[in-house]
Amino acid sequence: MSGNYYFVIVGHRDNPLFEMEFSGSGNREARKDDHRHLNQFIAHAALDLVDEQMLRTPNMYLKIVDKFNEWFVSAFVTASRQRFIMLHDIKNEDGIKNFFTEMYETYIKQVMNPFYELNSPIKSAAFEK
């Protein structure tokens, strides 16, 4: 996957549990950028569209739910109704679906941890990989 990406996990109270920026041309290390607030705004603005889509379809992967300028917004909803939001500037549906699936597996492992409290920020090295 090449291009720029912003990934966020949003909890039940519309609070960000985990966020990460990365570029696809390399590894998934967090990227510091001046557009961080804009990315947060776009992701938060798309939450209503994600909520509407998840009521219409039984699928967990909602594909592209919104577009803002050059950014596409893809979404994935977990069984517990946590929302995974991905902002990306290049269409790559198969790669994004695979990424969401991997992150969902990592998220399930995190939630199964008895020391993790639901809807609290995630601070785990497994999510940074």
Tens of pLDDT, residues 80-118:
999 999 999 999 899 999 999 999 999 999 999 999 888
Tens of pLDDT, residues 45-60:
999 999 999 999 999 9
Long-range contacts of 45-54 (CB under 8 A, 24+ apart): 46/73, 46/75, 46/85, 47/10, 47/14, 47/83, 47/85, 49/73, 50/75, 50/77, 50/83, 50/85, 54/81, 54/83
| Whole-number pLDDT of residue 87 | 95
CA distance 8 to 17: 7
- Running DSSP on this structure, what letter comes out for residue 58? S
Q: Report the predicted TM-score, pTM, of the whole model to 2 decimal places.
A: 0.86
Helix (DSSP H) and strand (DSSP E) numbers for the chain: 4, 5
Q: CA-based diameter of the chain, in Å?
A: 42
Burial of residue 86 (number of CB atoms within 10 Å: 0-12, 13-18, 19+): buried
